[in-house]
Homo-oligomer: A and B are copies of this chain.
Amino acid sequence: MDAIGRKHWAIAEGYIPSQSSFSDRELISHETAYILNATERDAHVAITIYFADRDPVGPYRVTVPARRTLHLRFNDLEDPEPIPRDTDYASVFESDEYIVVQHTRMDSRHAEVALLSTMAFAAE
């Protein structure tokens, strides 16, 4: 059986609130891309971040080892520059191996945590 996935993914939603009601890393407001690499080879992924009113930034480069999953927090991206808070953005993923990308936001601006998640859009 061939490994599951696609090489090209997009997430149109993006917004990291600067505020959180918690200091615990698990409960700080954050956005995450869950990347599964079920293939037998390391996947080299280039991420481009799009904004409403300026040119895209990137690529951010991450490697997802063979037969591993990477839960990547956009909050943690630093190179070439951090993702600004309280700012609309979108992201595109290009990989040299098949991957599966899912997106989740945890919003803890209030003490009641809100979650959203959706599979990213996969190009043919």
Contact = CB atoms under 8 A, between A and B. Distances in A.
A30 B92 CA distance: 25
Contacts of A71: 13, 15, 52, 88
Contact of A104 (B8, B13, B52, B68): B13
A56 interface: yes
Given A13-B34, A36-B90, A90-B36, A112 B110 contact: yes
A107 B113 contact: yes
Interface residues of A, number: 57
> Interface SS of chain A: helix, strand, loop or mixed?
strand
Contacts of A34: 12-14, 88, 90
B69 A52 contact: yes
A16 interface: no
A47 interface: no
Contacts of A119: 12, 118-121
A11 B101 CA distance: 9
Given A34-B12, A69-B88, A70-B52, A113 B116 contact: no
A102 B111 CA distance: 26
Contacts of A44: none
A53 B70 CA distance: 9
